[in-house]
Amino acid sequence: ALLMDLYLGFFDDMVLVGITAYFGYSLFRKGVKTGTMVEIEESDISEINSMQALAYLALGLALLVLSAEALVQAASTIAGSLGVSTAIIGLTIVALGTSLPELAASVTCVLKGHHDLAIGNIFGSNILNLLVVLPFPGLLSAGSIEKELFYRDYAGVLLLTMLLAYFCYRGIKRNSMIGRTNGVIFLLIYGGWFTFMLLHVQRTAGF
């Protein structure tokens, strides 16, 4: 709703930041009320001292910043060479590359039997992207959004979210889980959408 005017500005960002603060506060209150304790498996991470942990953190942040800069430059170069919008490259190559770590983490959780953790990782990542990551472009440099991006891709995200909500609701009512059939449906949808985007790039670039 905030992007229906095809502009991401300061007001939109403040609304998203406010929702983030309320969401975080609600989770904190719920955690305090229930007093739920999560068991954590012991690992060799306890052997790392504070200085080593800080050094690893600083190194990781530095690599993250450098990787993000390289990713943006590469995406801009590819978009320029193909003559297509950077949004198309962001929706395909960049999105696929940045989602691979989440895929690896979710698969690891499922293989270890932590299905709730895998689902939580996916939902949490998307919530973080929408409420925390999205405001930064508007705060640092407000600007307009492509009309096609909003009506085609954002509408698709909304429909897929509603489809996932339906699968979850049906699973709860039947006391079952999201099965392989549902997973195959989503993979086929993504495959079809990705193919459509590649054909769009070919048509735009004149290949």
207 confidence band (pLDDT: 50, 70, 90): low
Give pLDDT, residue 180.
81
pLDDT in tens, 5-18: 677 777 777 888 78
* Reduced DSSP (H G I as helix, E B as strand, rest coil) percent helix, strand, coil of the chain, to 5: 80, 0, 20
Give pLDDT, residue 202.
64
Residue 83 near residue 204, CB atoms below 8 Å: yes
pLDDT in tens, 100-126: 777 887 888 888 888 778 877 787 887
Query: Could you please report the per-residue DSSP string of 118-162?
Result: HHHHHHHHHHHIIIIITHHHHHHS-EE--HHIIIIIIHHHHHHHH
Which tokens is 111 given?
Answer: 């293989």
Give pLDDT, residue 125.
80
Give pLDDT, residue 5.
67
For the full predicted model, state whether its pTM sits above 0.75. no
pLDDT in tens, 136-173: 777 777 767 777 777 777 777 888 888 888 887 887 78
Distance of alpha carbon 134 from alpha carbon 1, whole angstroms = 14
pLDDT in tens, 56-113: 778 877 887 777 677 767 777 776 676 666 667 777 777 777 777 778 878 888 888 8
pLDDT in tens, 21-57: 887 778 777 765 655 545 545 454 455 667 777 887 7
